[in-house]
Structure 1
Amino acid sequence: MYRFLLTPRWWGINVFVLLAIPFCIFMGSWQLSRFEARVDEHRDAKAEATAGKTEAPRPLADLLPVDKATSGRQATATGHYDRQLLVPDRELDGRRGYYVLTLLRVDGGKALPVVRGWLPGAADPAEAPAPPAGEVTVTGALQASETPGDNGVSAKGGLPAGQTAAISSASLVNLVPYDVYPAWITLNKGDAGMTAVPASAPADTGLDLKAFQNLGYTGEWFVFAGFVVFMWFRLLRREVEFLKDARLGLVPDAEAAGEPDYDSASSPVR
């Protein structure tokens, strides 16, 4: 038995090791559970998106407010198209272009933003098809209001009149004189020959950078646990070698070297 393990210095080292290893294992397991949860969310979101494309459309009021469960679901609304805006710098199939966004006045005048389609190139009001006149019924995937950073949404300002950087009620309410729903619809089929805009996944779901960060942290915590064990054995070996050298007279006196004075009772048992 190594009697020096009972000295105060080694008591401190041993207690630290006994606490550090379970803590590292716990933190690594917790980070792994977070990664697994995000994988499950990604799988559920894909299943819900598939189901949302095939299920019967539901009235807009039945799906509000938009959350992870209702985002991407098929919604329908009836009203009259009003003001039209362009959303520049939107990418589709690797090409840059813009959305054609038209506000649909429903429910006594409240407006629902409707993305009628996508066009390539720079945003040009002359190229954007005018919305149909009269009462229309729209059907498409329901989406939550965007915020800067979501799906590449830019926060830049200073856009020309008739354009908006984000499809957001907070932004649109400054451009139109009526209330706007905190949601929008992208039509299943592009209007007037435009390309339909596919629904995006809800925020904070799927295998994003955060998910892989959780996986990376998992590995780091388990490496820390292994490092603690490695250092403990290295210190133990160094201590044993020092004692052997001291007994053979190969090092200065222990007290002179600032090391504990190990007598025969505290030296390793042969």
Structure 2
Amino acid sequence: MHRFLLTPRWWGINVFVALSIPFCLFMGTWQLGRFEDRVGSHREASAERPAEQAAAPLDSLLPVDTTTSGRLASAAGEYGRQLLVPERDLDGKSGFYVLTLLRTDSGKTIPVVRGWLPGTADAAKAPAPPTGRVEVTGALQASENAGTKGVHAEGGLPAGQLGVIGSATLVNLVQDPLYDAWLTVQTPADGMVPVPAQAPSNTGLDLKAFQNLGYTGEWFVFVAFVLFMWFRLYRREVETLRDAEAGLLPAAEAADAPGSTHAPASTHAPGSTDAPGSAKPEAPAAASATAPAAE
């Protein structure tokens, strides 16, 4: 009854099932691993840093990753050009960052967010940076990306304002080499509010993290669907063969059933000598109704 599993049609079905199930399991496991990584990074970012943790030299914490993001970094140099970063919310209020470029002793420049002020970005509200050589300590942050941060780029902003804090938007404003990072001062002066460190991009329990969890469920559902469809096709084939053997199918369907050995039943009665193309024997001539005249 199960010889139909060896037919070319079922060979194709079985190969497809054998390849698709491991692939779906692999993809579901990979998406689950991505979700677990984001949960781990969220816990790490949410964990409070020891208060006695000393600031490390800036160069020793680069490049910025999930481990070094938010760490206190120290750098020394001289402040240069000052810019404003508008449309930045803090504690539910709209305001702007006061960003000043720090040319370090190494010759490279790093953006430093010296604090946050409420209201519309206005250069007259921003305190001037200290002059001379300064030592800056701030939380290390990775460069922003306009596509992931949801903020506008530099184009269309007034002069002296910046939409995205990153080397890509500052490269045309600074002649010196740039660090691919920025600092946010945790103890600002002149009445400015400190900007808290932000979690690095693509980490934490954000929408993408739950998308990974949703994709995990989808891949495992695909596995169950493939198995269900295979079993359904298999059961239909078995039922069709049983009906054919029991004579419950019309002759034409029984002959077409997979693995069926039944031939179509003859439409002639047993013992019939009729064959296609044979002449039907004629009936004997009828007897004469009149007898020969007696002599």
Question: What is the TM-score of this pair, normalised by structure 2?
Answer: 0.77
SS at 2:127's partner residue?
Answer: coil
| Within-5 A mapping of 1:180-219 | 180-219=178-217
Structure-1 separation of matches of 2:167 and 2:7: 68
Quote the residue 2:219 is aligned against.
Answer: 221
| Superimposed CA distance per residue, residues 188-246 of structure 1 (whole angstroms, 9 cap, x where no aligned partner) | 12321111111111223223333322222221121111111211221122223323443
* Structure 1: runs of 5 or more not aligned: 265-270
1:100 equivalent among 80, 83, 98: 98
Structure-2 separation of matches of 1:99 and 1:44: 26
Quote the residue 1:128 is aligned against.
Answer: 126
| Paired residue type of 1:22 | P
The change in CA–CA distance for 1:116 and 1:24 in structure 2 (over 3 A counts) is same
Coordinate RMSD, CA, aligned: 2.6
* Structure 2: runs of 5 or more not aligned: 263-295
Quote the residue 2:278 is aligned against.
Answer: none
- Asked whether the 8 Å contact 2:111–2:183 carries over to 1, the reply is yes
Structure-1 separation of matches of 2:43 and 2:128: 39
Quote the residue 1:10 is aligned against.
Answer: 10
The change in CA–CA distance for 1:225 and 1:203 in structure 2 (over 3 A counts) is same
- Flag as ranges the 4+ runs of structure 1 deviating above 4 A: none
Quote the residue 1:267 is aligned against.
Answer: none
The change in CA–CA distance for 1:30 and 1:177 in structure 2 (over 3 A counts) is closer
| Superimposed CA distance per residue, residues 6-51 of structure 1 (whole angstroms, 9 cap, x where no aligned partner) | 433333333333333333223322322232233223333444xx33
- Asked whether the 8 Å contact 1:88–1:122 carries over to 2, the reply is yes
The change in CA–CA distance for 1:196 and 1:251 in structure 2 (over 3 A counts) is farther
Structure-2 separation of matches of 1:252 and 1:36: 59
Structure-1 separation of matches of 2:105 and 2:51: 25
The change in CA–CA distance for 1:42 and 1:252 in structure 2 (over 3 A counts) is farther
Higher relative contact order (CA 8 A, sep 6+): 1
- Asked whether the 8 Å contact 1:52–1:74 carries over to 2, the reply is no
Quote the residue 2:247 is aligned against.
Answer: 248
Quote the residue 1:40 is aligned against.
Answer: 40
Question: What is the TM-score of this pair, normalised by structure 1?
Answer: 0.83
- Asked whether the 8 Å contact 1:254–1:260 carries over to 2, the reply is no
| Within-5 A mapping of 1:30-179 | 30-47=30-47, 50-51=48-49, 54-107=52-105, 110-179=108-177
Structure-1 separation of matches of 2:77 and 2:251: 94
SS at 1:149's partner residue?
Answer: helix
The change in CA–CA distance for 1:176 and 1:3 in structure 2 (over 3 A counts) is closer
Structure with the larger helix share? 1
| Paired residue type of 1:17 | V
TM-aligned CA deviation for residue 5 of structure 1: 3.1
TM-aligned CA deviation for residue 156 of structure 1: 4.8
TM-aligned CA deviation for residue 114 of structure 1: 1.2
The change in CA–CA distance for 1:156 and 1:248 in structure 2 (over 3 A counts) is farther
The change in CA–CA distance for 1:29 and 1:111 in structure 2 (over 3 A counts) is closer
Structure-2 separation of matches of 1:89 and 1:7: 67
- Asked whether the 8 Å contact 2:97–2:115 carries over to 1, the reply is yes
Query: Does structure 1 residue 239 correspond to structure 2 residue 237?
Result: yes
TM-aligned CA deviation for residue 54 of structure 1: 4.5
- Paired positions, count: 261
- Asked whether the 8 Å contact 1:81–1:104 carries over to 2, the reply is yes
Identity of aligned residues (%): 65
Q: Based on CA coordinates, which of the two structures has the bigger radius of gyration?
A: 2
